[in-house]
Amino acid sequence: MFPILNFALMFIIPIIVVGIAKIIDNKRNSNIGNFNNIFEEEKAALEGIIEEKISEVKDNAIDLEIAVKKAGFISKLMEEDLAKLNTKEDFKNRVNNIVDENIKYSEDNKKNIVDMLHNELHKATESFNSLLEGKRDDMNKIRDELEDIMHRLEIGKESFEKTINGVYEKADNKEKELVSDIENKYNNLDKKIETLFDEKKTDLNNMSAKYHSERTFARKRAIHI
């Protein structure tokens, strides 16, 4: 028997007993010969009332337990859906941060290498100028050597820059491919999450409609009983 039904019967039964006692007291002063017949009639009427009240309490207890179970189940599904939505937002933020860091690192690193190359060339030029000032007698020879060195350095610089640019071009292409792949995977995951969320939302709506239908049916049934 349902716990709620037991609780209700604890109050209904004493009320019924008191009612029977009052009926007996009221009839006690009437014809003693008709007492048994009157008592049986009243007893039958009270038994009918008792059965009707017990049936109502049972129906109400069933409706209450169904409502509690439905509410608990719906609450659990909503918590799971909210958790999935939060996970989806965190994943999106992490992907965006990774992409931004990779792009920033590539640009900064490329600039640092080019700046370092120019600084080294500038230092070499200053060193050669100092050497020219210290050795006037060998100025022409040293100048020719310096021009040759500068020419080779310039060629080396251009070659190095071409190599660096080629490396970074390949790196940029790889990075774009990686970013594109990450974005595609993220978009696919996002679509799957949205689809799952829509399915869960539809399930919740269906369960809610079914619950209201069952509850309405139970109430109509209780009224007919």
Instruction: Return the closest-CA partner of residue 146 out of 161, 123, 124.
Output: 124
What 217-222 contacts at long range (C-beta under 8 Å, 24+ apart), as own/partner pairs, is 218/59, 218/62, 218/63, 218/66, 219/63, 221/59, 222/55, 222/56, 222/59, 222/60
Residues sharing a CB contact under 8 Å with residue 211, sequence separation 6 or more, in sequence order: 66, 67, 70
Residues contacting 72, CB < 8 A, separation 6+:
none
This prediction's pTM: 0.26
**For residue 174, what pLDDT is reported?**
75
**What's the confidence (pLDDT) of residue 4?**
46
pLDDT in tens, the chain (225 residues): 444 444 444 445 455 444 544 554 555 544 444 545 555 665 565 566 656 666 665 666 566 566 556 655 555 655 565 555 555 555 556 555 655 655 555 555 556 655 665 666 666 566 656 655 655 565 566 566 656 766 776 776 676 667 667 766 776 777 777 777 777 777 777 677 677 777 777 777 777 777 777 777 767 666 665
Name, in order, each residue with C-beta under 8 angstroms of 67's C-beta and a sequence gap of 6 or more: 211, 215
Contact in structure between 67 and 15 (CB atoms under 8 Å): no
